[in-house]
Amino acid sequence: MIDLAQLRREPEFVKAALARRGVELSTMDEIIGLDAEHRQLLQEAERLRAEVKELSRQVGEARRNNEEDKAEELTSTSRELGDQERMASQRVDAVAQDLREKLLMIPNIPAPDVPDGRDENDNVETRRWWVGMDQGAAFPTYAAHQRVPHWDIGIELGILDLESGAKLAGSMFPLYRGAGARLLRSLGFFALNAHMADYEEIRPPSFALTETMMSTGHLPKSVDDMYAIERDDLWAIPTAEVPLTSMNRDEILEESQLPLRLTAQTACFRREAGAAGRDTRGLLRVHEFDKVELFAYCTPDQAEAAHADILARAEGLLQALGLTYRVLDLCTGDLGTSSARTVDLEVFSPGVDRWLEVSSVSWFRDFQARRANVRYRTAAGTTALVHTVNGSALAWARIWAALVETYRLSDGSVKLPDVLAPYMGDQLTITKKGS
């Protein structure tokens, strides 16, 4: 949620910044108007309430002095004022709710250096990485045997069974088997081991309350992309960011605890309602995938370094896996609701011949902290909202795809990179059954 006080203080700045993301000026003016109305009504209601309280106090005093007539008179005056106060408060509540609903739909103010743009086509590619690049090697050329899409490799090697997945849960719910399932497990283990020295490992619930989903900004705006378990008023989490952000909801952290860094691997559920029919083949876009998330609560001063650390870790894993990737600076039009700045990592999939998003590293400023009410006590003794930063490292379904394509050999088998040897053991090379 954006800062109402800031909107009051510098409305033109906020409006201009949000206009870059396509927020209508009239929407902001409406909010400014509601805020003014709210405060005016609030004053009136509070004035009445103060009077009722004062009269009530006097009633008690009169009773103690056995002044029954006076008490009776004060009571009836107070009763009348009380009725007025109730009505005034109802008006306050109505406006406050309206204001809050509108405010929840407003996205975060983008960082000044976020490039302008309408959609993902305007994202700015800042750099690429591939094996041997630092030694001057040219961008890799992929051989014909690497130009096979992972869904074909999956069937050929018996490690990805999309049909069974569809049979169980519908399309876009993948089922991995054998070495394919083990590869997925290995990737999570590999990443968590890499982070655990500096990030506390968390295993959160896979479902969250509505309130929890609100704190990250996934609700109310993206309702259609979330899986709902209506009977129990729960939602399937779309990312570990949701539980991690709310872990310290309504709490005040000590500045000495910051940055508080957490990591978690969870299943991530996404309905992909707006993407029906797009990129549906194989693992390009699925309803459920595993992802390791890195997360930090920090002070404003620590945010930049925390963001850089997460990005470096995500890149470090991609480099360790020897996958080609590129780094994108997301434009204003493609930024997630809650984010002030996001850097995406896209891995190159030679078999599909496309770049696939496998990480999104975001700085939310205090936008999520304001919703979740996560604060810290400063050295001066005051409280302030924390900044939240998070990023994937990494989302495994697409990594799985890029790995089996990149490391496919001419005989059709897949020889995975050595970093996975501790986890894959004797299955580092995946061959056709019976061959």
CB 32, CB 11: distance < 8 Å: yes
CB 108, CB 365: distance < 8 Å: yes
Q: Is 414 in the site for RNA (CB under 7 A)?
A: no
What are the tokens at 297? 């609560």
Contact region for RNA (CB under 7 A) — 44-52, 100-108, 188-196, 276-284? 44-52
The least distance separating RNA from the CB of residue 61, rounded to whole angstroms, comes to 6
The least distance separating RNA from the CB of residue 47, rounded to whole angstroms, comes to 6
What residue type is 3 in one-letter code?
D
Q: Is 79 in the site for RNA (CB under 7 A)?
A: yes
> How far is 433 from 431, CA to CA, in rounded Å?
6
Contact region for RNA (CB under 7 A) — 39-47, 171-179, 197-205, 389-397? 39-47
Q: Is 299 in the site for RNA (CB under 7 A)?
A: no
Binding mask 4-33 for RNA (x = CB under 7 A): xx----------------------------
> How far is 287 from 275, CA to CA, in rounded Å?
11
**What residues numbered 383-412 form the site for RNA, per CB under 7 A?**
383
List 1, 17, 18, 59, residue binding RNA (CB under 7 A): 59
Q: Is 78 in the site for RNA (CB under 7 A)?
A: yes
Q: Is 280 in the site for RNA (CB under 7 A)?
A: no
Q: Interior CA angle at 90 toward 84 and 96, to 5°?
A: 135
List 150, 375, 387, 398, residue binding RNA (CB under 7 A): 375
> How far is 67 from 84, CA to CA, in rounded Å?
26
What are the tokens at 290? 């595993």
Q: Is 257 in the site for RNA (CB under 7 A)?
A: no
Cβ-based nearer residue to RNA, 29 or 54: 54
> How far is 177 from 65, CA to CA, in rounded Å?
84
> How far is 418 from 425, CA to CA, in rounded Å?
10
List 13, 33, 39, 196, residue binding RNA (CB under 7 A): 39
Q: Is 82 in the site for RNA (CB under 7 A)?
A: yes
Taking the CB of residue 169, how many other CB atoms lie within 10 A of it?
A: 13
> How far is 354 from 374, CA to CA, in rounded Å?
39
Q: Mapping DSSP to helix (H, G, I), strand (E, B) and coil, where does residue 74 land?
A: helix
List 42, 133, 166, 202, residue binding RNA (CB under 7 A): 42
40-57 as b/e: b if 16+ CB within 10 A: ebbebbeebbebbeebee
Q: Which residues pair with 290 in a beta bridge?
A: 267
List 46, 67, 152, 225, residue binding RNA (CB under 7 A): 46
Q: Is 91 in the site for RNA (CB under 7 A)?
A: no
User: What is the size of the binding site for RNA (CB under 7 A)?
Assistant: 26
Query: Which residues are at the interface with RNA (CB under 7 A)?
Result: 4-5, 39, 42-43, 46-47, 49-50, 52-57, 59-61, 63, 75, 78-79, 82, 252, 375, 383
